[in-house]
Amino acid sequence: MRILQQFPIKSVLVTGANRGIGLELVKYFVKQKIKHKKKPVKIISCSRSLNTELEQLLDFVSYVELDVTNRNSVNKAVKDVSEIVGDAGLNLLINNAAVLYRGRGVLGCTDQEMGETFNVNVLGPHTVTNNFYPLLKLAAMNNSHIPISCARAAVINISSELGSIQRTLNSYTTAYRVSKAALNMLTKCQAAEFIQDDVLSLSIHPGWVRTGLGGPQAPLSVQDMKVLQQFLPRSVLITGANRGLGLEFVKYFVRHNQQPGIQPTTIISCSRTMSADLEHLLEDVHHINVDVSNEGQVKDAASKVSKIVGKDGLSLLINNAAIMRHGKGIAGCSVREMKETLDTNLIGVHAMTQNFHPLLKQSAETQAHLPISCSRAAVCNLSAELGSIKGTNRNNLYTAYKISKAGLNMLTKCTAVDLIKDNIICFSVHPGWAQTSLGGPQAPLSAEAAVEDMIKIMEACTKKQNGAFLRKGMNSIMF
């Protein structure tokens, strides 16, 4: 579903939207609508009946009654949707509605079951797509400036791995498997034909998800699906959270938790002093007093956090706290300044990572169904471009700070190499030059913008970025 994130889709229709994956897709688009207020997406949720969960979203979503097996209902829905989208057409049609009769092999599968399954899972998407095609074609024409994509015009058929002929080793859920194999062929035929009008068609396997259809034993919850699509660590800890970028990280996660229908992230702020700004957030955020240069306090913090996060462990550790003194050159940088800087910016980060390693490991284990990422288990170290050895040609400022960040980059690499065996990644980020007390008021970036750029990096980080030193846009910085 990552594909959906990259494009500002103007209108989307989801069938079978009152529960399970359909409802979750609708919630995802509601979230996008709230985030991109200036370019709101028109969300059309279709189902045979309206239920309370969908009803709660009606401030953001249009509802159109649709039984995909009933031709009259489809015709009426096309009229209703035409009125909603107008001349702009429909950008994205998601054929999600489906049925599954459980546990029947070939001989146990009645004609009626086979017929009903085909009606909903194959004929349904066929009829719905054909009837909505003029609206999709209109969107493709109207958006000729956009590359062929889900943002221009597309059909997504929610299929299933169970429809893979190659991978089929038993006959369990025969009718469903046969219907999804047929749906995959329908998708292929649609794709071959629709491309001439610049309309895409593709199938997606959503994973095995605990819904009415997926059953209670499925390994993924619908929230886990969101974790796959979006950046949603179960828990996050931020050091130096009372001001500057640390505070802005806390605010980001608080805003994130306020969106409807999401599984909230447990937010743990750590700082050695409290600020009024952080205090305002304490209803939604845990707080632990910790000076990262004090090993005893770091150890204490780890045992307190362990009680907060329980068996889930800690998903993401953001080592943000740092100091920057103004000693100029080697001669102007006192030994005391050097010690203090290394104590916080380098040894502090090491102490935090070492003491929180067991909790990170726990998260990597309990979230084993997730790919290696910041949602599963990760350490993000806030470094600085000033720590690039290759990029240093002058040394008239911040000697200790530069040295501490160069050391931090090596610490990041060593941590990355060691912890990957536990499925934990570690990387350094440069936030850009941001307006904080460290960055100064003349910095070109607001703290909020810098944090948004870093969140995008965290969203995209996988095993491939383990040990990397990154800046905005996932660009690597020279060590």
Ligand X SMILES: NC(=O)c1ccc[n+]([C@@H]2O[C@H](COP(=O)([O-])OP(=O)(O)OC[C@H]3O[C@@H](n4cnc5c(N)ncnc54)[C@H](OP(=O)(O)O)[C@@H]3O)[C@@H](O)[C@H]2O)c1
Residues contributing to the site for ligand X (CB under 6 A): 239-240, 242-246, 271-273, 291-293, 320-323, 344, 348, 382, 384, 430-431, 433-434, 436-439, 443
Residue with tokens 């909020």: 448
Cβ closest to ligand X, residue 251 vs residue 430? 430
Cβ closest to ligand X, residue 292 vs residue 377? 292
Residue 310 CB, nearest distance to ligand X (Å)? 25
Residue 447 CB, nearest distance to ligand X (Å)? 7
DSSP state of 372: S
Cβ closest to ligand X, residue 320 vs residue 367? 320
Cβ closest to ligand X, residue 127 vs residue 271? 271
DSSP string, 99-167: ---TT--STT--HHHHHHHHIIIIIHHHHHHHHHHHHHHHHHHHTTTSPSSTTTSEEEEE--GGG-STT
Which residues are CB-contacts of 59 (< 8 A; sequence separation ≥ 6)?
A: none
Residue 231 CB, nearest distance to ligand X (Å)? 19
Cβ closest to ligand X, residue 125 vs residue 431? 431
CA 113 to chain centroid, in Å, comes to 37
Sign for the pseudo-dihedral over CA of 43, 36, 148, 83: positive
Which residues are CB-contacts of 407 (< 8 A; sequence separation ≥ 6)?
A: 342, 345, 346, 387
Residue 263 CB, nearest distance to ligand X (Å)? 28
- Measured CA to CA, the distance from residue 352 to residue 367 in angstroms comes to 21
Residue 325 CB, nearest distance to ligand X (Å)? 11
Cβ closest to ligand X, residue 282 vs residue 368? 282
Residue 28 CB, nearest distance to ligand X (Å)? 31
Q: Are 413 and 425 in contact (CB under 8 A)?
A: no
Residue 200 CB, nearest distance to ligand X (Å)? 41
DSSP state of 9: -
Residue closest to ligand X, measured at CB = 244
Cβ closest to ligand X, residue 32 vs residue 436? 436
Cβ closest to ligand X, residue 19 vs residue 243? 243
Residue 433 CB, nearest distance to ligand X (Å)? 4
Q: How far apart are the first and last CA of the chain?
A: 34
List, as own/partner pairs, every contact residues 284-292 make where C-beta atoms lie below 8 angstroms and the sequence separation is at least 24, other chains included: 284/254, 284/257, 285/250, 285/253, 285/254, 287/241, 290/239, 292/239, 292/240, 292/319, 292/321, 292/344, 292/348, 292/349, 292/351, 292/352
